[in-house]
Amino acid sequence: MKKSLITSALLCAFSVPAAYAQSNVTLYGVIDGAIAVSKVRGGDTRIGFDNGIWAGSRFGIRETEDLGSGYSIGFILEQGFKTFSGEAMNLSKAFARQSTLSITAPFGEAAFGRTGGLSSDCGTYTILHGSSLWTSYYNNGNIYGTFILSDRYDNMAVYKTPSFNGSTVTLMYSNGIGGDSEKWSRNDRYYGVGYEYAAGKALFSAIWEMYDNKTLGYKASNVFTVGGSYDFGWATLYGAYQYANHSSRLSDYVRPDSMGKDGANQHGFSASIGIPAAGGTAKLQGNYGIGKIKGAEDDDYRLWSVATAYEYPISKRTLFYTYAGYGRGKKAVSSVDNYNSWTISSGLSHNF
C-alpha cells in the first residue's frame, strides 16, 4: 500500500509540469502557383510561372494562450515564399508577412509588431472590403491597380475594440515605414482609424489613413476609403470608393522629379460581382481612377481596368482558379507598365 502511494505521488509530481507544458501552437500555410501569359503594352508576350496569385504562398506559426477571465495572449509569425523557387519573399526578414504579439481582454485587443495596415488586404487587422478579387491577383484587374492601399509596416501598434452588434473600431500607428532605424523620431509615420461592420450577409468598412512622408519631404498624405458587400444568395455585390489627398504613392511610377511636395490627388472607384456557378464562383470586376499630379506642372491621369475570374474548390483545402485582366493608363500614366498590360492565368492554391 505504501509503495502504491509513493508511486502515485511520483506520477502526480511528473504529470503536473507536463500539463502546464501543453501548448496549442499551430503551423499553417498556403502554397499557391500559376501558369500565366502576360504582356505589357509595347513589350514581348511572357509565358511562365507566377507565385501566390490567389493567395500569397506562406508558412506561419501561431498560438493563443487562454489566461482566464476573458484574457488571452497570442502571437503570429509568418513568412512568404515563392512557390516555384522556394526563395523567401523578403530576404532581410525572418517573418516578413507578419510578426505580432497580441493581448486580448474584455475591453478589446492590442497587438504590437509588424503587420498590414487597415487597407492593405494583408495580415490579421486589415478591414478592406468592397472588392471580389483579392489584391494578390494581378494589378491589371484588382483593386490595388487603381486604389492607393497601405502596406505592411514595422513598429506597429494596434488596438481593436470588442464587437458591438457587429461593429468594431480599429486604431493603428507605426513609425517603422522608413527613415532612421536608430532614432524613431526620424522615421516616417503611418496613422489609421477604421470602422468595420460585419453581420449576417453584410460587410462594410470606412477607413482613414495618414502618411506623414517625412523622409520624402512631401506633404502628409490623407487617404479615405469606404467599401462593402452584400450576399443576396444568387450573387454577392461589391463596391468601393476612395479619395486620396497629397498622395505620394505614384512617385514610385510617375516621373518622380515632377511630383513636387504636393504629391497627387485621386478618386478611385471599384464595382464587382460574384455569382455561384457550377460548384464554384464566377467573378467580374471593374476599376476606375481619375487624378492629378500636383507637381511642377499639373498632370491629369486616368486609370481603368477590368478582370474576370473563376474559382472552384477541388476540396476543403485546395482551390483551382483562372483569371483574365486588362488595364490601361491614360495621359500622365500612359507609359507606366503597371497600368498598361493584360494577363491570363490559371493555378492552384492549397492551404494547410
Is pLDDT above 90 for 347?
Answer: yes
Question: 219 near 188, Cβ under 8 Å?
Answer: no
Mean predicted confidence (pLDDT) in 228-232: 98
Write out pLDDT tens, residues 20-33: 444 689 999 999 99
- Domain borders along the chain are 38-50+109-351
Q: How many angstroms separate the CA atoms of 50 and 35, rounded?
A: 6
Per-residue pLDDT tens digits for 37-75: 999 988 999 999 999 999 999 999 999 999 999 999 999
d(CA 56, CA 89): 10
**pTM assigned to the model:** 0.89
Residues 151 and 185 sit within 8 Å (Cβ to Cβ): no
Classify 123 as helix, strand or coil. coil
Q: What is the mean pLDDT of the chain?
A: 89
Q: Domain 38-50+109-351, what architecture?
A: Beta Barrel (2.40)
> Which among 211, 62, 165 is positioned nearest to 123, based on CA atoms?
62
User: Nearest-CA neighbor of 273 among 236, 312, 230, 307?
Assistant: 236
Amino acid at 122: C
